[in-house]
Amino acid sequence: MSLVFLIFLPVLAALFVPLLFKKMRQIHTGWFVLIVPAILFVYYATLLPTTADGGNLVSTFKWIPSLDIAIVAYLDGLSLLFSLLITGIGTLVVLYSVFYLDKNREQLHNFYVYLLMFMTAMLGVVQSDHLISLYLFWELTSISSFLLIGYWYTRDRSRFGALKSMMITVFGGLMMLGGFVLLSIMGNTYSIRELIAQAPQLVSHDFFILALVLVLLGAFTKSAQFPFYIWLPDAMEAPTPVSAYLHSATMVKAGLYLVARFTPIFAVSGTWMWLVTGVGLFTMVWGSIFALKQKDLKAILAFSTVSQLGLIMSLLGASAAGYHIEDASGTIFKYAAFAAIFHLINHATFKGSLFMIAGIVDHETGTRDIRKLGGLMSLMPISFTIAMIGSFSMAGLPPFNGFLSKEMFLTAMLSLREFDLFSMDVWGVLFPVLAWIGSVFTFVYSFFFVFHTFAGKHKPEQLPKQAHEAPVGMLISPAFLALLVLVIFFIPNQIGDWLIKPAVAVIQPFLYASPAEVDIHVTAWHGVNTELLMTLGIFLVGAILFWTLRKWQRTYDLFPESISLNRLYDSFMYLSDAGANRFSALYMTGFIRSYLVYMFGFFVMIMLSTLVVTDAFAFNTANLAPIGFYEIAILIALVTGTLTILFSKSRLTAIIALGAVGYSVALFFVIFRAPDLALTQLVIETISVALFLLAFYYLPKHSKAEERVGFKLGNAIIALGVGVTMTLVALSAHSQKVLPSISEYYKETVYSEAGGGNIVNVILVDYRGFDTLFEITVLGIAGIAIITMIKLRLSKKEGTHENK
């Protein structure tokens, strides 16, 4: 089965969703949609043995061969892992949405069309081996996520969040496109695999660092890294299934995928490792600290997602250090990439379940405000259990999968202290310190989420709805994810062999020739070491901060909103809008004359400058026919008639002069031996002049303002400029013919091919037959419209006379 077809399968299925929604209203549309990601997941799962052995699959669709643009679907260990996450979590999210979204009140056809469109976009991103197709799918994720976030478009916050996410991620996408263009110039190819093979040569190119920074801007904006993270909390206005899908397992992971995929290209530069690791760690600390300021359950999870994405990003950056290590016994490359992929999987499981639980709490209580919640443990015991499993995993507690990847994270950060390149031996100590601080606050916000929601005193008077447990159908998906959280803890090496090691071998091809060479064995106990002491410190300090949270949480009020990044974004958007309006007011005068001046002036400037810069002007009289007395006389008459029209004070004089101009043109056709054109011109001019004379009586008299209209220098300059420009262009085009005139073809074929003697008639009837047919059709429609309006006018008059 073609991999390219599988990428487009969701969006093809989306074509039938509106029909299913309309014809089968008694069945929730989600049940039909559920089939698509489930089938894709099963198929991709059957390919695991191939990638586990280091193999790959390729499928190509040549889109625009002349520009070397194609859709190349490439499945290796990394892309297959992401494809499984996209379709697997997608299946659970669709199942969850069946019970979360009311089929009688929601526009489900819109929701599922957007969701399937997004699924295709994500599959295209993670499987593309072509830079241009990757970019197109990348921007499609921004567009489809905009539609999903703004699904409840009647809400101001939904529209604002959707616009904010698209503005920031599309900006990053455009920057990334610039990086892709530079890479294609550097490597003379659009293929990512070929660029990886050329990585040692690309590093010395002048564009290398610029391309690196531009690609990272795309990754950082999509994965909500500091300072671009501000779109993610506002995106929480989307329905909970969207939040669980886009912002825990798919869209925000696209930036992580991009960094992982391009690490083999940019890892040769220390700048890559410093930027990715540094930005990732700072984002982790920033997100974890400000998660505790939030009062909305989904906002807490949004900032926790920012923090967790920063953690994974820092590990991907640390994995680049492996390129510079000659001793294969080092631990930096040995754990960083493995921990990044491992935590990426773990994060999808526990964060997906937590988002769904937040939606359940909102669905069953009517609010997500954590200040109004509490004491739900006895009322919603299953939801509490799932939330506790997910939160404890996020906090890094055993026996949950988050504990294993968190320990590997600490190991990788500690190892950076020993790295003696790029001044890491001096500054490297900051990395484990920042990692520890971020982990402490991660512990606190994880406990804050679960216990302030489900423990404590129940406040039914503050809840819009009477709290109760969610229906079984809504609990299936989060319960399954919570089960995975536990299962992965006990079988991490099986997950490692099938999913993680093949991806690690792709990220670090400079260290591993195949997944079998990734010799990492995951265990929960490593003895008493620095990582264990750091973990105990995280638990101890985190517990103290949690129990004293109410005493120090008010310190967040000291941070003024007026200097926040959100306020900066709002100010930028406001100033941009106001500035654009002021600038538009300068030229949007409402007068057609002004717009014509702009267009003609710009045209003259561009065309004349092009002729001068490219030295394109040429004047060759070799092929010109001789100009006789009659041509000069008719030309003088034509110019005289034109000037008369312009300066005439009488409309009657102007009408007569207009006729003279038309008849002069007809005489030119006679001299050029085109009698049919001359006849047509004579008929048209006669009818036009006759119509003007017939309507002369009804024309208004010249106003005093019209009589005062005099010579305008600006108009004269524009008119003279356009005339001179077109004359020069026409002379240059005629004097520099690259191809023979098509008239020669008509001369040779008009009789033999079309069987006609009149070249003009044959062109109109045969060579341009469809053009003529459509022209006749247009004229026919116009004639019918005119007859209809005349009849309507006559019928109104008759009705008026009868009433009288």
**Which contacts qualify for 663-671: CB closer than 8 Å, 24 or more apart?**
664/634, 664/635, 664/637, 664/638, 665/638, 667/634, 668/631, 668/634, 671/630, 671/631, 671/634
Residue 559, pLDDT above cutoff 80: no
**Mean pLDDT, range 769-779, rounded to an integer:** 89
Q: For residue 70, which phi and psi values (nearest 5 degrees)?
A: -145, 160
Structure tokens at 250: 């798919």
What pLDDT is stored for residue 762 in this prediction?
A: 84
Nearest Cα residue to 550 out of 459, 438, 451:
451
Work out the average pLDDT over 410-426. 71
The b-or-e profile of 676-712 (16+ CB within 10 A means b, else e) is: ebbeebbeebeeebeebeeeeeeeeeeeeeeeeeeee
Instruction: State how far the Cα of 70 lies from the Cα of 68, in Å rounded to an integer.
Output: 6
How many other C-beta atoms are found inside a 10 Å radius of the C-beta of residue 328? 12
Q: Report whether pLDDT(706) > 70.
A: no
CA-based nearest residue to 267, from 206, 218, 337: 337
Residues 6+ apart with CB under 8 A from 578: none
Mean pLDDT of 716-744: 85
Can you read off the two tokens belonging to residue 320? 């680049």
Flag whether pLDDT at 724 surpasses 50.
yes
Distance, in Å, from the CA atom of 312 to the CA atom of 323, rounded to the nearest integer, reads: 19
Q: Please state, in angstroms and rounded to a whole number, the distance separating the CA atoms of residues 779 and 767.
A: 20
Secondary structure (DSSP) of 321-340: GGGG---TT-SHHHHHHHHH
Cα(58)–Cα(50) distance, integer angstroms = 12
Residue among 53, 83, 508 nearest 315 (CA) = 508
Task: Look over the chain and give the mean of its residue pLDDT values, rounded to a whole number.
Answer: 89
Q: What pLDDT is attached to residue 329?
A: 45
Where are any strands of DSSP class E within 666-766?
A: none
- Could you give the CA distance from residue 548 to residue 113 in angstroms, rounded to a whole number? 47
N-to-C CA span, the chain: 79
Tell me, what DSSP letter sits at residue 696?
A: G
Q: Output 167 or 330, whichever has higher pLDDT.
A: 167
Name which of 33-47, 324-338, 651-665, 746-760 the model is least confident about: 324-338
Lowest mean pLDDT among 219-233, 237-251, 433-447: 237-251
**In the prediction, which pLDDT does 239 show?**
93
pLDDT, position 779: 92
Amino acid in position 284: M
More confident residue, 677 or 726: 726
Supply 514's token pair: 């195949």
- Cβ–Cβ < 8 Å for 305, 224: yes
Q: Which two tokens stand for residue 460?
A: 């039914």
Smallest CA-to-CA distance from 255 within 385, 142, 115 is with: 142
DSSP state at residue 72: E
pTM of the model: 0.82
CA gap 96, 90 in Å, rounded: 10
DSSP assignment of 113-143, as one string?
HHHHHHHHHHHHHHHB-BHHHHHHHHHHHHH
With 90 as the cut, is the pLDDT of residue 533 above it? yes
328: pLDDT strictly greater than 50: no
CA–CA dist 431, 433 (Å, integer): 5
| Calpha distance 507→472 (Å, rounded) | 40
3-state secondary structure of 509: coil
> Rg for the chain (alpha carbons), in Å?
36
Structure tokens that stand for 115 in this block = 């969701």
Tell whether the model's pLDDT for residue 781 goes beyond 90.
Answer: yes
- C-alpha 522/C-alpha 339 separation (Å) is 10
Q: What is the pLDDT of residue 451?
A: 95
Q: What is the DSSP letter of 396?
A: T
- Gap between the Cα atoms of 677 and 683, Å rounded: 10
Shortest CA distance to 443 belongs to which of 304, 278, 281? 304
Q: How confident is the model at residue 417 (pLDDT cuts 50, 70, 90)?
A: confident
Cα–Cα distance for residue pair 432/439, rounded to 1 Å: 10
Tokens of 195: 């660029």
pLDDT at residue 98 above 50? Answer: yes
Peptide bond between residue 399 and the one before it cis (omega within 30 degrees of 0): yes
- Decide: helix, strand or coil at residue 375: coil
pLDDT of 602 strictly over 70? yes
Distance CA 772, CA 763 (A): 10
8 Å CB contact between 226 and 469: no
**538-549 pLDDT, tens digit each:** 999 999 999 999
**Alpha-carbon gap, residue 244 to 91, rounded angstroms:** 12
Q: How confident is the model at residue 801 (pLDDT cuts 50, 70, 90)?
A: low
Separation in Å, CA 119 to CA 13, 261, 586, 710:
11, 19, 44, 65
Q: What tens digit of pLDDT does each residue of 138-169 get?
A: 999 999 999 999 999 999 999 999 999 999 99
User: What pLDDT score does 475 carry?
Assistant: 96
**Three-state DSSP state, 148:** helix
pLDDT at residue 101 above 70? yes
Q: Which two tokens stand for residue 541?
A: 């300090």
Most confidently predicted of 340-349, 411-420, 681-690: 340-349
The yes-or-no verdict on residue 312 having pLDDT over 80 is: yes
Stretch 402-409: mean pLDDT, rounded?
A: 94
pLDDT tens digits for 171-209? 999 999 999 999 999 999 999 999 999 998 999 999 999
Which of the 8 DSSP states describes residue 804? -
Distances (CA, A) of 144 to 95, 117, 176, 225, 305: 20, 6, 19, 21, 20
Q: What are phi and psi of 15, to 5 degrees?
A: -65, -25
Whether the CA torsion 70, 76, 79, 84 is positive or negative: it is: positive
Rounded mean pLDDT, 25-51:
94
pLDDT score at 754: 80
Residues 6+ apart with CB under 8 A from 464: 365, 366, 367
Q: Is the pLDDT of residue 286 over 80?
A: yes
> Which residues, in sequence order, are CB contacts of 551 under 8 Å at separation 6+?
none
Strand partners, 73: 59, 128
The Cα 484–Cα 490 span in angstroms is 10
Query: Does residue 330 register a pLDDT over 50?
Result: no
Percent of the chain with pLDDT over 90: 60
The residue count for the chain: 804
